[in-house]
Structure 1
Amino acid sequence: MGRRTMALALLALAWPGGAALAQQSPSTCLAIAEATPKARFADFRDRARPPVWNAALARDEVEITYIHHSTYLIESAGGVRIATDFSGLSGPGDPPDIVTMNHAHSTHYTEFPDPAIPHVLRGWNPAGNGPARHSLEVEDVLVRNVPTDIDRFGTFEADGNSIFVFEVAGLCIGHLGHLHHQLTDEDYAAIGRLDVLMVPVDGSWTMSQAGMGEIAERLHSSVVLPMHRFRTPIERFLAAIPDFAVERRPTASLTLSPRTLPRQPTVILLEGV
């Protein structure tokens, strides 16, 4: 099997109906491993309709707001609003267009999402017959997931958590959810490039801070946004990634674009974290 054929086959395995991705906008973040540690990016060019743009943001910008716990609100220039690890709270305003959820604890999901939310993406498969698989395009946003296991304090649930990747404004934004274990080479290949990484830093209910630091180091994201901190001193996590700069902001929101990403990988602490 040639490399191109193998790459397409791997993509089809990554999502049921993977061939349909050829009809979606291209994934500029998805890495398909041809030989570890090398990877190349899948790019199916079929950019379609222009979205209705949000005048508050330039077309290559995205706004990210810390809401609480593991919930960030991601807002695109096309007006799409996404709440991560949604447990019912997403800040003021209309319900989000997309919510993602994980199954570790009730603080990361809700059984009763607002019916006005068009797209509810569970990071686990409620039917229990295999992992959840998502590949959703809404206006100028592409959302996909990489399943991981829940394995903490004697509780194991295969594929009970998902790392969600949001492709928007030319950026690749990843949310690790309630991650419990180190990632494999296959996981890293499925995640691909991440410009922005949302990482739990509690060091107890999820992975150790050193373990999370190893993941942040390997992904080498330009921006790391901590979450799920409780009372844990943030300095312990920062010590695990000494090569990253640290920026503390007095607001809960920041606006990012490919042209404004920091040159040195930076941990940004938003208000409330």
Structure 2
Amino acid sequence: MIIKWFGHSCFGVENGIKILMDPFNKNVGYPIPNYQPDIITESHQHFDHNAHHLFKNKFVLINTPGNHILNNLEITGLKTYHDKTHGHERGENIIFKFEFSDGIKLAHCGDLGHIPDKDTLKELEDIDIIMIPVGGYYTIDAKQAKEIVDILKPKIIIPMHYKTNFIDFPISFVDEFIDLFDIPIIRVEEEFHIEGINETKIVVFKIKEV
């Protein structure tokens, strides 16, 4: 499996099929990904997560809860909320759980704004990899993200939706999250290759500034 971070909550995942998650538009501040996905998933319909229209190749768009099966890949969309008030402030959010043919299970939490309920957490209890927002303000913050990680115990923890030099959103830097842990921190540029999942680690991506 190869994971690429394009900024914010947008990832490319290659594992027999190419998936692009939560693409943003040019107003966010990151470069638009040069990527040709087979599948695009969108956790909700805000401009920094739903810019599938920028990609001109043929792809399958998934932006609803429920079960979706494509080419031996099972995708489950779990309904959650973008805030702590059941969507009254910022609407609904979808956590997408990906179950690949090689057995790897990955969850992308989108703009999750609350601690999920017990049923949702149970659906996620077997994941190997989690992509989770940590910046607060619009989403859960670092402490809430750690609470979820402590419950689910994934082996690979990938923070997202945090402050960088590319964006001016009023959210926190990733250090507020990783400082809460006493586990290995792997810092990578461009992409992260997964050949086996063993020790628990946090993977922090860095995008080169042009």
- Report if aligned partners of 2:185, 2:201 keep a CA contact under 8 Å in 1: yes
Kindly provide the CA deviation profile for residues 239-263 of structure 1, in whole angstroms up to 9, marking residues without a partner as x: 33x24321222x2211114xx2232
Quickly say closer, same or farther: Cα 1:173–1:139, change in 2 above 3 A: same
- Report if aligned partners of 2:187, 2:203 keep a CA contact under 8 Å in 1: yes
SS of equivalent to 2:146 = helix
- Provide the TM-score with structure 2 as the length reference: 0.81
* Match of residue 177 from structure 2: 237
* Match of residue 261 from structure 1: 197
Percent identity between matched residues is: 21
Deviation at 1:104, TM superposition (A): 5.9
1:179 is aligned, of 101, 109, 112, to: 112
Kindly provide the CA deviation profile for residues 195-254 of structure 1, in whole angstroms up to 9, marking residues without a partner as x: 0110112122211210011001111110111111114332211233x24321222x2211
- Report if aligned partners of 1:182, 1:211 keep a CA contact under 8 Å in 2: yes
Q: Quick check: 1:155 aligned with 2:89?
A: yes
Quickly say closer, same or farther: Cα 1:102–1:217, change in 2 above 3 A: same
Q: Name which of structure 1's ranges 98-107 and 180-189 shifts more when overlaid on structure 2.
A: 98-107
C-alpha separation in 1, matches of 2:65 and 2:186 = 35
Quickly say closer, same or farther: Cα 1:118–1:235, change in 2 above 3 A: closer
Higher percent of residues as helix = 1
1:102-121 equivalent positions in 2, closer than 5 A: 102-103=43-44, 105-110=46-51, 112=53, 114=55, 116-121=57-62
CA RMSD after TM alignment: 2.4
Give the count of matched residue pairs.
Answer: 193
C-alpha separation in 1, matches of 2:155 and 2:32 = 25
**Structure 1 residue identity aligned to 2:120:** D
- Provide the TM-score with structure 1 as the length reference: 0.64
SS of equivalent to 1:261 = coil
Quickly say closer, same or farther: Cα 1:115–1:92, change in 2 above 3 A: closer
